[in-house]
Chain A
Amino acid sequence: MSYDAIVIGGGHNGLVNAAYLAKAGRKTLVLERRHVVGGAAVTEELHPGFNFTTFSYAISLLRPDIVHDLDLVKHGMMVMPLTHHFAPMDNGDYLLLGPDDGENYHEIARHSAEDAEAYRDYGTLMDRVVHAVQPLLDEIPPNIVSTDPVELAAVARLGGHLRSLDPKVLHMLVRLLTGSAADILDEYFETEVLKGLMASSGIIGTKVGPYSQGSGLVLLYHVMGEIDGVFGEWGFHKGGNGGFTQAVARAAQALGAEIRTEASVSNVITRNGEAVGVALESGEELYADVVVSALDPRRTFLQFVDRRELPTDLVEGIESFKFQGTSAKVNFALDALPKYPALGDRTDQYQGFINIGPSMRYLERAFDDAKYGWYSSKPFIDGCIQSVLDPDMSPPGKHIMSCFVQYAPYHLEGSDWDTEKDNFGDTVQSVLEDHFPGFGDLILHREVVTPLDIERTIGLSEGNIFAGEFLTPQMFLFRPAPGWNQYRTPIKGYYQCGSGTHPGGCVMGAPGKLAARQILGDTAP
């Protein structure tokens, strides 16, 4: 059996890549190790009647053109805005932001009128920065080490784009790309809970605290998406992110791609330095003109191929590429909605995210624990009770709650995650109990997903949720390595399209789309 293209890994990027290749008429096969496609974007019934977004839980960065190119709406795509950000405070008060600017003004003004005003200035500038970077998400980045005139011209175009920006926008962009979230937020705001809420975007998935340089980049990354033109807004896909990847899978199949689950690839078969197919762990061999790895760079370069076939620089670069997963999930099945005493019987605060990170200090303290090799004693939690929006996630009247938790470093000093899993779950639960008295009594089921579980289940090295950390030297021109940031590899016919390539992780689809563009260009008949 021979294909035009085989895609290793049925995460959303592998599926998007396959769909584009199939759309171009290529006979394409996706090989997925698990019984279900979706990778980090799956929805699983881990407790009868309760559907959990085991890993990723919200969507924002998905590039809008993919929706139309792949006809995703026809295949069931449906994203609803998650409109609220609810940030409980240690003293029982809270900050609750929603979709109305006027209402948000007064809510922030309860804490500080100057901050309420600054929030608009900040918002305007951030929207403009996002608008300035979004075009870069839809382009194959230039190859900075190449002297090819095409690449030199691309670098020049990039320079031109930056020069065309309003200096204020450019300056903010540079601050974000190089500085800390705290530096920027301290300049605009004085309210701790507001800064905590906003800074939390700067630490997601990365081993940095809000005061660390680099948190600015992570912050920018998490606000550069949109829901229907509202920049920085996040949404919930019907049925969770697994609902989304199922829609992409249907689209890929409708376009002619074949998907095989429970097909674990052991290595890429090369002949005379060219990729010709893959070998499965079952021993089966499958052949194709093009092999695309949708896995992270460590697996793409150090697991699937013989490193002796690769330049030493690249091997060293990938060996030192930082993963150091620091995030975990704790998902709950709940008997009822939790109560927040200061809000009485209100429940609208759950129409979005619950942000437990009441100050930047809190987040930084949580980070300190991780720095020294342990999970946070008071972790940051990004919670979302998705069944408030989507009743099909849980039995009527009952709820599921997704909690994304930091910090949970992959390497624990003096212990391991199999030992600590339940203790960690208890830690998270007790923080929730602090803010939502009686929370523990509501729990019907608890699912702890440690970085080790992430690695074991979907293959993300060290459990890094983005297939490689968001650090300036690991992005854009350098993702995953200088010169190899254009989805190609040194092995002819072997490509990469996972989150370890530009632009990076999150349910975005851009790596899969851009890799397909490159492959189709390289192999045009």
Chain B
Amino acid sequence: MRTTPFHERIAPLNRTYLWEHWAGFVTAVAYQHSVATEYFATRNSVAVFDTSPLFKYRIAGPDATAFLAGVFARDIRRCAIGEGHYTVWCNDEGYLLEDGVVLRLGEDEYLATSAEPNLRHFRSLANGHEVTVEDLSDAYGILAVQGPHSVEVIRRISPEAGSLPYFGVTRTSIANHQVVVSRTGFTADLGYEIWIETADALPVWDTLMDAGADYNLIPMGMRALGMARLDGGMLLINADFEPARHAWTDAQRETPDELGLAWMVNLADDRPFVGRRAIEAERANGTSRWKTVGFHVDAAAYEAIYNNDGLAAPKEGVYEETAHSLYDRDFNVDAGAQWVGYATSFGFSPILKRHIGLAKLPLDRCTPGLTAHLELVVNHRPKYVPVEVSKTPFWNPARKTNKEQA
């Protein structure tokens, strides 16, 4: 199993000794026993997450923009130099292969990250374009610095990066080491991601930790990250969707519209991209099978269900990436209740003080405010707690997207 370029520093910090595997790398589940503390660092101070196991690519050449415009479902031509996009790419049938972040560094130069390998995939589409796709996965490590005080920490080590707008990106240096910083992240809060050359990993880490000491900068693990991203209603691969590439059936696969990502797929002009015809047909014929939406649990009802059974309602630490069925009504009260969909992520948000989740529901049940019933097993029995469809992000502080952080 491989370790990331920061392992030497993070290993002694992992007081839980809990590690997991992510894309063939050792990654910390949690650094301290209170996952809530790590989580709150992203809401209250600042946390650092080692996101190096992501696959990293550089796409460059005179045709880079034209090429990527045909690969991504979101129109990369609208991404200015010094900006980034959260984007998706599909197969010919319009099903989502993956999502990822792409950063435009120059007229003809982009960096992209993805959870799964895409070198061969991108290259297979590059045919005929004057473009090179380079695998930088081993050349760089990436640190995500996230939380309200991330801006001060970043400013201390790179004033230039400290003035980035939301989804802005710049080349800069930290302690004389060349880095790329973007104002992006997976925590639903203000934050930055730093691409650091492997050889510079430790000195940059040290510089960052020194700069963050005054702001209680702490490392965060996978579990806290999962909770933070759920606050943002952000999709997690293999939890909220299965990448089409390795799915066996179309029933497993999902389109951007079904994933609630219709906003990023604009068919107004005639830009050809992989999956366009299928998405056009889906929209023309109204064949979306469901939509992925956020929901929140009725807090009082949740309490009552447990209390009625003589139990305290579980909150802190509830975070699941497993399926929970959703019914239209409470099956215990009404035997005519129908299964309508299911939750893919479900958890207690420590900042919102309520349980939230992501679910797949029929199109006529997706309007915010509509209700469904989530199945839980309480005291050996199924119970049905009312939930309400809600807009995502659930948590969306102004500082996350503010033009510039003061």
Contact = CB atoms under 8 A, between A and B. Distances in A.
Interface stretch (B115-123, B146-154, B271-279, B351-359): B115-123
B245 A106 contact: no
Contact of B24 (A100, A113, A124): A100
B136 to A, nearest CB: 11
A117 interface: yes
Contacts of A127: 248
Contacts of A62: none
B117 A103 contact: no
Given A106-B2, A121-B245, A116 B117 contact: yes
B117 A102 contact: no
Contact of A100 (B1, B121, B135): B1
Nearest to A116: B117
Contacts of B25: 102
Interface in B241-256: 245-246, 248
Interface in A223-252: none
Contact of A102 (B23, B118, B248): B23
A120 interface: yes
B248 A128 contact: yes
A118 interface: yes
Interface string A96-109: 00001111111000
Contacts of A69: none
Nearest to B1: A103
A117 B24 contact: no
A124 B246 CA distance: 6
A346 to B, nearest CB: 14
B21 interface: yes
B246 A114 contact: no
B117 A120 contact: yes
Interface string A244-272: 00000000000000000000000000000
Contacts of A117: 117-121
Nearest to A131: B248
Nearest to B2: A106
B22 interface: yes
B24 A114 contact: no
A131 B249 CA distance: 13
Given A124-B246, A128-B248, A102 B22 contact: yes
Contacts of B137: 113
Contact of A105 (B24, B118, B246): B24
Nearest to B138: A109
B245 A124 contact: yes
Interface string B304-331: 0000000000000000000000000000
Given A113-B135, A124-B245, A103 B24 contact: yes
Contacts of A103: 1-2, 21, 24
Contacts of A106: 2, 24
A105 B245 CA distance: 16
Interface in B346-396: none
B311 to A, nearest CB: 36
A101 B53 CA distance: 14
Interface in A62-117: 100-106, 113-114, 116-117
Interface string B1-30: 110000000000000000001111100000
B248 A105 contact: no
A282 B150 CA distance: 91
Contacts of B21: 100, 102-103
Contacts of B22: 102
Contacts of B121: 117
A102 to B, nearest CB: 3
Nearest to B246: A124
Interface of A: 100-106, 113-114, 116-118, 120-121, 124, 127-128, 131
Interface of B: 1-2, 21-25, 117-121, 123, 135, 137, 245-246, 248
7 contacts: A101-B24, A102-B1, A114-B123, A116-B117, A124-B246, A127-B248, A131-B248
Given A114-B123, A120-B245, 12 more contacts: A102-B21, A102-B22, A103-B21, A103-B24, A105-B24, A117-B118, A117-B120, A120-B117, A120-B246, A124-B245, A124-B246, A131-B248
What are the 9 tightest A-B residue pairs by CB atom distance, in nearest-first order? A102-B24, A117-B117, A117-B120, A114-B120, A106-B24, A124-B246, A113-B135, A103-B24, A102-B23
